[in-house]
Amino acid sequence: MIVGVPKELFPGEKRVAMVPDLVPMLKKRGIDVLVEQGAGFGAGHLDKVYEEKGATVTASRDEIFQKADIIVQVRSYGGDEDASKEDLARMKAGQLVCGQSDSLGNAEKAKEFAEKKVNLFSMELVPRITRAQSMDVLSSQANIAGYKAVLLGAAELPKIFPMMMTAAGTIAPAKVFVIGAGVAGLSAIATAKRLGAVVHAFDVRPEVKEQIESLGGKFVEVELDTSEAKGEGGYAKEQSEEFLKKQREMMAKVVAESDVIITTAAIPGRKSPVIVTADMVKHMHPGSVIIDLASERGGNCELTKHGERIIENDVVIIGPSNIVSTVATHASQMYAKNIQTLLFHLIDKEGNFNVDMSDEINEGSMVVYSGEVVHARVRDILGMPAKAKPAESNDTKEA
């Protein structure tokens, strides 16, 4: 069994799907690793280190796709704005591609994989169940995004975060408001609190109040009916425009008093809800900062421009593009661990590749299999009829 690790082609992407330290674990499982020259350089991993750990390094991208049974990537075709479109011609029938392919946002790409009879496993679709936690790339990468968003906000803010009592007077702590208390939001709350800020946070799911308070944050109470706010996999469910309007009205005061706002409210496959309006920004203090982690799908701030730093009413608004890649070493370490766990899930101890489509992980993440689009949500987006579910297997069913 050969796993290929091609260099990422998306502009500015420094992460790599496999790190040298995990190669020996794969080798013990009978899995050989073929790495494209320079693939790990952006994350601080030299070719010679891969070779020392037992991987084979090649300068030929064609060789990677010709020899590998499984291709592992951070951004596979569909999730990289067509940067790797040329790789589609390199792929071979029966090959498995594992990476973030934005299959809900770019469902049409699934048809191209099916036509090539290339199997596609979308890492961002791994279900949020206990058994799959160590494969969950959205959580591992969101952890880093929340951390780095706070540092970015702190660097932009013309104030310091902690309270200081000095001979020159007392400096009040900065006020940070985190919108969305998923993995990224909780990481942002913890980081801002460690830096000494007063942290407030809001989420439409009332059950996260305890998690926010356990990290030292203050939960912003909004008197709305949020009983139906929780969606699939622990994400917030898309809300009506009337709900969002009332939410914005009730949050306006907190927004106006905040020095740094970090927004993380995203719904998989959908446009990000607008929570911070242009009018709210007008009432913020000059020099305040908004870091919009939901900018890739439109943003939680009405004024956000993805990939840009803009100033509106003396407020800095940043829609970071691939913020996780700026912490490429540890982001790659975590992503590679997710990949390694997935490979051990798909490949047995004898080195045989076996995909049980009745398994909840495979059913939820495999988009294309044996020349057919098999993922239920992707089929629905494409207007394809629902596919009959495979019979459950007792030995793969989650306890």
Domain count for the chain: 2
What pLDDT sits at residue 228? Answer: 52
Query: Would you call 258 a catalytic residue per the annotation?
Result: no
| Active-site residue flag, 136 | yes
Query: Does 238 reside within a domain?
Result: yes
Do 78 and 95 lie in one domain? The reply is yes
Q: pLDDT exceeding 90 applies to what percent of the chain?
A: 83
Q: Are residues 174 and 299 in the same domain?
A: yes
For residues 58-76, give the mean pLDDT: 98
Residue 162 has pLDDT above 50, yes or no: yes
Pair (50, 95) in one structural domain? yes
- Whether 240 is catalytic is no
**CB–CB of 62/86 below 8 Å?**
no
Round the CA-based radius of gyration of the chain to a whole number and report it. 22
**Which tens digit of pLDDT belongs to each residue from 286-333?**
999 999 999 999 999 999 999 999 999 999 999 999 999 999 999 999
The reported pTM is 0.90
Write the CATH number for 174: 3.40.50.720
Indicate whether 218 and 193 sit together in one domain.
yes
What are the pLDDT digits (tens) for 332-349? 999 999 999 999 999 988
Asked if 102 and 32 sit in the same domain, the reply is yes
Q: Which of 32, 102, 136, 292 is catalytic?
A: 136
Is there a single domain that holds both residue 207 and residue 130? no
226 and 112 inside one domain: no
Q: Do residues 281 and 218 both lie within one domain?
A: yes
**Could you tell me the residue range of the domain that residue 181 belongs to?**
145-321
Q: Residue 303 and residue 306: Cα distance in Å, rounded?
A: 10
Identify whether 356 is a catalytic site residue: no
For the chain, percent of residues with pLDDT exceeding 70: 93
Asked whether residue 238 carries a pLDDT value surpassing 80, the answer given is no
Q: In this structure, are 262 and 344 located in the same domain?
A: no
pLDDT (tens digit, 9 = 90+) per residue, 104-119?
999 999 999 999 999 9
133 is catalytic: yes
Band (pLDDT 50/70/90 cuts) for residue 352 is: confident
Active-site entry in 235, 248, 332, 369:
235
Query: One of 60, 62, 82, 133 is an active-site residue; which one?
Result: 133
Q: What per-residue confidence (pLDDT) applies to 393?
A: 43
Q: Read off the tokens for 157.
A: 């803010």
| Active-site hit among 95, 139, 288, 333 | 139
* Whether residue 163 sits in one domain with residue 246: yes
Q: Please name which of 292, 226, 280 lies closest in space to residue 248, comparing C-alpha atoms.
A: 280
- Residues 92, 189 within the same domain: no
The helix (run of H) or strand (run of E) holding residue 378 is helix 376-381
Q: How confident is the model at residue 209 (pLDDT cuts 50, 70, 90)?
A: very high
Mean local confidence (pLDDT), 56-83? 97
